[in-house]
């Protein structure tokens, strides 16, 4: 059974999300803040962390940095689930460290259904990266690929959210894309990793209205 660590300061969100996750076949650990999350990670090894952004006193980004700083928790995939829309700058800064972001409110049942796939994809990617490191002995390039892949994916997602409004440095983004493709070919990663760089791959629609089909 896969374990999800849920970090959110809103008790109602924690309660309802836990319910849905448990119904969806996950073991759930819940933390009401960044400090508690870091504390829980000392004794448990979740398969995915669902992280809220707006928390006091340690916010989501600080928590993310703490997670990535520790070698034990570094490879654990993090999915941001937030009421506050991430800003382009935040994506530039943290985009390479997260799987994706989801802006509340969302249909939990849809999210829960997509989480297995998210975990599988993330593990698939990290496994492949580790394999390339072992085989080719170029850890720098492999990690760069991992970071760029995430960053490009998140950037695309954000662009889609902003309905392609001019918000980011297009030149920088294009250079990142080119570098990603270069590494992809050079290191010989399977093409399936590029398939989901076209945006939100959680099957989550922004409009909750269409998501009540199970009514």
Partner 1 sequence: MPPVSIFIVEDELIEAEDIRHTLLEQGYAIAGIARSGETALTALKGILPDLILMDIHLSGTMDGIDTAEQIRALWRIPVIFLTAHADDTTLARAKVTEPYGYILKPFDDREVHSVIEMALYKHRMEEQLKENERIIRVLANAIPDAVMLVDHNRQIIALNDAMAQRIGRDNNWLQSETSLLYDANGDFTSMQSQMDKTLQSRRRVRFEENNGNEWAEISLTPVGEPFDDHVRVLIQYHDITDYKRFEEQLTKEGVSRLEQNMEQFQILNDQIRNPLQAIMGYVNLDCAKYRSHILNQIGIIDSLVDRLDHGWIESEKVRKFLLLHYRNAPEAPGEKTDGEKRVRE
Residues that bind partner 1 (CB under 8 A): 10, 12-13, 15-17, 19-20, 53-54, 82-85, 87-89, 92-96, 103-109, 147, 151, 162, 165, 167, 172, 206-209, 211-212, 214-215
In the complex, minimum distance from the CB of residue 191 to partner 1, in angstroms, rounded to a whole number = 25
Q: Please name which of 160, 158, 176, 165 lies closest in space to residue 89, comparing C-alpha atoms.
A: 158
Nearer to partner 1, 85 or 195 (CB): 85
Tell me, what DSSP letter sits at residue 47? Answer: S
Q: Cβ of 11: how many Cβ atoms within 10 Å? A: 10
Nearer to partner 1, 105 or 188 (CB): 105
> If you search the block for the tokens 């392609």, which residue do you land on?
164
The size of the chain, in residues, is 215
In the complex, minimum distance from the CB of residue 88 to partner 1, in angstroms, rounded to a whole number = 7
Contact 98, 154 (CB under 8 A): yes
Nearer to partner 1, 195 or 205 (CB): 205
DSSP H helical ranges for the chain: 11-23, 34-41, 60-69, 88-94, 108-136, 139-161, 170-187, 192-195
Distance of CA 159 to the CA centre of its chain: 16
* Contacts (Cβ under 8 Å, ≥6 apart) of 10: 52
């Amino acid at each position: 059974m896969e374990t999800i660590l849920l970090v959110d300061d809103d008790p109602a969100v924690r309660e309802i999300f836990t319910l849905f996750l448990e119904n969806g076949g996950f073991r759930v650990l819940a933390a009401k803040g960044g400090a508690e999350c870091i504390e829980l990670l000392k004794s448990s090894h979740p398969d995915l962390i669902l992280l809220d952004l707006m928390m006091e006193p340690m916010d989501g980004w600080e928590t993310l940095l703490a997670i990535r700083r520790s070698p034990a928790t570094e490879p654990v995939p993090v999915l941001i689930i937030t009421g506050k829309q991430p800003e382009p700058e935040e994506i530039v800064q943290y985009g390479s460290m997260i799987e994706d972001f989801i802006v509340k409110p969302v249909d939990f049942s849809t999210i829960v259904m997509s989480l297995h796939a998210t975990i599988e994809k993330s593990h698939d990617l990290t496994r492949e990266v580790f394999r390339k490191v072992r085989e080719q002995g170029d850890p720098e390039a492999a990690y760069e690929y991992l970071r760029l892949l995430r960053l490009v994916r998140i950037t695309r997602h954000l662009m889609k959210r902003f309905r392609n409004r001019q918000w980011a440095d297009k030149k920088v983004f294009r250079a990142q894309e080119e570098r990603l493709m270069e590494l992809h070919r050079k290191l010989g990663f399977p093409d399936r990793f590029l398939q989901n760089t076209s945006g939100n791959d959680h099957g989550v629609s922004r409009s909750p209205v269409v998501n009540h089909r199970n009514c």
